[in-house]
Structure 1
Amino acid sequence: MSASQVMLAPKYSSRPVPAVSPGSNAAGREGLAGLALAVFLVSGSWSLARVAGVEPMAIWQPRVWAVLVLVALAFMPSRVRRVGGRTALGAELAWLGFSLVSITWAPELALAEDQAIELGLLIAVAIALHRLARTSRVERIATALRHGLLVLLLGLAAVALLGGVGGMGGRAAVLGGGPNVFGRNMGVLALLALERALGFGSATTTRPRPFALPVWSWVACVAAGLVALSGSRGAMISTFIAAGLLLVLGRARLSRRLAVALGGLGLFAALLVLTPLGERVIASFASRVLDLLVADRYVSGRDQIYVIALEGGARQPIIGHGLASFAAATPWPYAHNLALDAWFETGAIGVALLGLYLGRGAQLLGRLGAGGRELWVALALLIFVGAQFSGGRYDARALLVCVALALALPRPQPSRRSP
C-alpha cells in the first residue's frame, strides 16, 4: 500500500455505514418484492386451472406464487438492520390470527378451508413486509409496487375497453373477479394516474414533466369511467373520497392541484359527451345510481344483509359463529361490511382486534406526516371505505399492504441550513 493510500484510508473508513447495502442485488430484490406484491393484490383468487383444464388447486393460483416469492425475498440473508421501519404487525397478526383460530368452531369445514388459506396468505404477507421493512429500502419496494400495479391495471382496463368485459346485468368485470372487484381495481388505477398527473409519481421527482398532466389526467378519467361502468356504488363512493384526499394531501403546488382537478372535470365531461364509453357510463350511472339507488332506494339487499349480520352475531356475541359461518348460514358469501363480517364470525373479540389494528395504523400514520405516503394513505382509505359496502377480509388485503408501506417508509428529514 502506498503512502497516499495509507493517508486516505482513515478518511474512507470513517464514513458511516449506509442503512442498506448498495448494489444491484439489493435493488433487484426490492423491485421483485414490489412486483410480487402487485401480482398478489391484482390476481385475486384467479387460477390457471381455468385455462389449463386441470383440477383446481391452490398451487395453480398466481397469488400463491407471489406470496412464496415475497416470503423467500424477505428471509434472504441480509446484514442490514434498518432503524425504524415501523409496522402494526402485532395488532394485524392478532386480528388475522384469531380469525384463523375461529376455524375450530366453524360450522362447515369445507367452506372454512378456503378462507383459512386466504388468511394464511395474509399472515405470510404481513410477516414478510415486517421483515422487509427492516432489511430493505421500503421506498424502492413502494416504487416497484406502484409501477407493477400501473402495468397490471392498465392491462385490465385495456381488456375492458377492447370489449372483453363480462359481469352481471351488463356491469363490467374482467377475469371473473366480479363487478365490485373490478370497480375497486379501476379506482386504484384512477388514484395512481391522479398521483402522476399531480407530478409526484416518483420520490425523486422535483419538477413534473409537461406531458404528465394531460396524459395521466385522461387515464384517471377513463379509469373513473370504468368504475362507473362496473356499477359498484361502493367503488364510486370510495374512489371519489380517496381522490379528494389525494388532492388535499398532495405535495404539488396549489395551482397544479387546481389545474388537475378542473382539467380532470373537463376531460371527464368530454369523455361522457364525445366517446362511446361515455354513453355506456351515463347509462350505467343512470341505472345503478339515479334509478335504483335514488328513485327506488334499492341497495342490493345490503340493508337485509346488515340486519342478518347484526342479529345473527348477537346470538354468539363473544367469539362469533366461526370462520365462513356467514356463507354457511345465509345465501351470501360474506356480510359485505368488514366490521359486521368480524362481528358475525368472530364476535366482540374479533371486532375489538380489528379496531385495535385500524386504530393502531391510524395513530401511527397521523404521527408520521407526509414524506411520500400520500398515495398509500389514499389507497388505504379507498379500500377501507369500499370494504364497508362489499368484500371480506381478503378483499381488503390492499388495505393491509398500503398501511404497512405507509408506516414503514422512512420519515422525512428536516432540512438543515448552514449557519
Structure 2
Amino acid sequence: MLAFGLLLICIAVGWRRPGFLIAPLFYGYTADVLGAPGGMSTAIVSASAASILVIRQWRSLASMRFTALDLAVLAFLVWHSISATWMPNANYGAGQIPNLLMSTLSVYVAARLLGRLPGPSDRANEVAWGFALLGCSMAVLLTTEGSFVDGRLRFGDASAVGLAQPFPLAALAALFLVLGTAKPTYRSIAFVCFIVLLYTSIISGTRGAVLALAAGMVTFFLFASHRQKLITVMIGVLAAVVGGACFIMMGLGAETTLRVFELDSYGSARDASSLDRLIGYEQAWHLITNSPLFGSGLGSFAYYAGYDYPHNVFLEIWSQSGAIGIFLFIFVAILFIRRQVIATRLFHETIIIVVLVAAGFMQQQVSFSLPIGKTIFLIGFFSAYVPLLRGGGTGSVTGASMSAVELMASAKSART
C-alpha cells in the first residue's frame, strides 16, 4: 500500500511540477508487487497523468497538430495491431492489442503533452527528479521487503525482469542530477539516490539492467562531448563505473557479473536464460522466414513459442508484423533522432530524455516485449518540439511544428 501511496504523491506533485508525472508510469508493476490494491496501479497513474496534462493545456489543445513523428508512431502501432487479423488464432491476437496500445500510448501521449508545456529544460529536470526520488523510494522498499535467491534480488513469484526495468533508468536520472545540479544539498540528495539505484540495478541480476546503464552512460558522454561539461561528465561516468565495481568486489551483485560477463555460464544450470534466448531467436527467425513481408501476426510468437517475447525488439516486430513493421519502426527512429538533435542543442537539459530512451532501447535488445519496454515511447517529448528560447518568458507553446532551420535560426538570434 505504501508503494501505491508513493505513486499518488508523485502524481500530486505533478500538478505543479508536470515532469513528475512521467516516472509513475514505469512503477505500476512494482507497486502492484509491493501490495497495491486491485493490481491496477499502471492504469490509475496513466489516466491521472494524462488527465492532469490535458487540464493544464486545455485551451491550447485545439491548436495542436499532428506531426510527422506522431503520424509515424501511429502508423507503426496501427500496422502492428492489425497484424493480429492474419494470425491463425485471431482471437488470441486481438487480445494482445489492448495491452500494446494502452502501454505504449500512455507513455507517448504523456510525453507528447509534457513537451508542449513551456520551459523544456525545467520539464526535463522534473522528469529526472521524478525518476530519481520515486525510484530510490521503491528501491528501498523492494530491497528491505524482498529476499536474495541465488545472489539475486527477488520478491516472491514476481518477475525479476519487470521489477528491474525502471531502476537503471532512475539511476541514470540521478547521475544526470548529480552532474548538473548546482545546489550542494540537491546534489547530495541526487548522489544518495544514485548509489541506492546503482546498487539495486546491479543486484537485480538482469542483463538488461546492466546494459541499460552502460548505454545510458555512453549516450550521456556522447551528447555532452560538445559542451564545457565534458570533464564533469567523464568524471561522473568513471565514478559510476568505479562504484559498480566496488559493489561487485564486496560480493554484491556477483551473480549478475557472472551472468553478464562469464560466457562459459551461458546455457548452464546457473544461467539457463541464455539458452532460452537462443531458442527464442531461432523461433522468431522461423516465423520471419515463413512470412518475411507481413509477419505472422501480433501475438504469434507467444502463441507458437509459449513465451511472451523473443528478447529482442527487432525480432519481435519482424516476426509479428513483418518487414513493413520493421520499416515503420526504423522510420520512427529516424524522425526522433532528427528532432532530438535540434532539441538538445537548444536545451541541453533535455539530454536526460534521450539518455532514458537509449537505455530503454538497449534493454529491449536482450529483454522485454514492446509493450513492457515502453521507455522508447518517451520520444513523444520531442514531437512538434516548439521550445521557448532561454529567457523567453512564460508564453505558451503551441502545437505547431517548426523546421530545423527555423529552430536553429531562433537559437542563433537568441544568442546574439
Fold agreement, TM-score > 0.5: yes
Q: Closer, same or farther in 2 for the Cα pair 1:345/1:139, shift >3 Å?
A: same
- Given the alignment, which residue of 305, 308, 311 partners 2:280? 305
Q: Distance in 1 between matches of 2:135 and 2:256?
A: 21
Give 3-state SS (helix, strand or coil) of 1:159's partner: helix
- Rounded to whole Å, the distance in 2 between the matches of 1:49 and 1:281 is 22
- Partner residue of 1:70 out of 44, 49, 63: 49
Gaps of 5+ in 1: 1-26, 55-59, 201-207
Partner residue of 2:339 out of 360, 364, 378: 364
| 2:120–2:350 Cα contact (<8 Å) kept | no
Q: 1:221 to 1:86 in 2, by over 3 A?
A: farther
Query: Which string of whole-angstrom CA distances, capped at 9 and with x for unpartnered residues, describes residues 81-132 of structure 1?
Result: 7899967211111111112222323425246424423313423553454455
Paired AA for residue 254 in structure 2: I
- In structure 2, C-alpha distance between the alignment counterparts of 1:129 and 1:182, rounded to whole Å: 22
User: After TM superposition, which residue ranges in structure 1, 4 or more long, deviate above 6 angstroms?
Assistant: 48-51, 81-87, 294-298
The DSSP-based 3-state class of the residue aligned with 1:382 is helix
Q: Which residue of 2 aligns with 1:232?
A: 206
Where 2:174 maps in the other structure, the secondary structure is helix
Aligned counterpart in structure 2 of residue 348 of structure 1, from 323, 328, 346:
323
Give the distance between the partners of 2:277 and 2:236, measured in 1 at CA. 35
Greater C-alpha Rg? 1
Q: Percent identity?
A: 18
Matches within 5 A, 1:3-152: 31=16, 33-44=18-29, 47=32, 52=37, 60-76=39-55, 78-80=58-60, 88-106=69-87, 107=89, 109-110=91-92, 112-127=94-109, 129-134=111-116, 137-152=119-134
Q: Is the 8 A contact 1:80 1:135 kept in 2?
A: no
| Mapped contact 1:187–1:227 kept (Cα < 8 A) | yes
Shift of 1:238: 2.5
The TM-score normalised by the length of structure 2 is 0.76
Identify if the C-alpha distance between structure 1 residues 84 and 33 changes in structure 2 by more than 3 Å, giving closer, same or farther: same
Q: 1:289 matched to which residue of 2?
A: 261
Gaps spanning 5+ residues in structure 2: where? 1-11, 390-410
Residue deviations 1:182-207, cap 9 Å, x none? 3332211220121112124xxxxxxx
**Residue of structure 1 in register with 2:404 after alignment:** none
Aligned to 1:280: 252
- Structure 1 CA distance for aligned equivalents of residues 14 and 35 of structure 2: 31
How many residue pairs match? The answer is: 373
Task: Find the counterpart in structure 1 of residue 8 from structure 2.
Answer: none
**For residue 232 of structure 1, what is the amino acid of its counterpart?**
T
- CA distance in 2 between counterparts of 1:159 and 1:399 reads 26
- How does 1:202-213 map onto structure 2 within 5 Å? 208-210=182-184
TM-score (norm 1): 0.75
Change (3 A) 1:258 1:139: closer
Distance of 2:415 and 2:66 partners within structure 1:
27
RMSD: 3.6
Task: Give the structure, 1 or 2, with the largest relative contact order (CA under 8 Å, sep 6 or more).
Answer: 2
Q: By how many angstroms is 1:180 displaced?
A: 2.5
Give the SS at the match of 1:410: coil
Task: Give the match for residue 203 of structure 1.
Answer: none
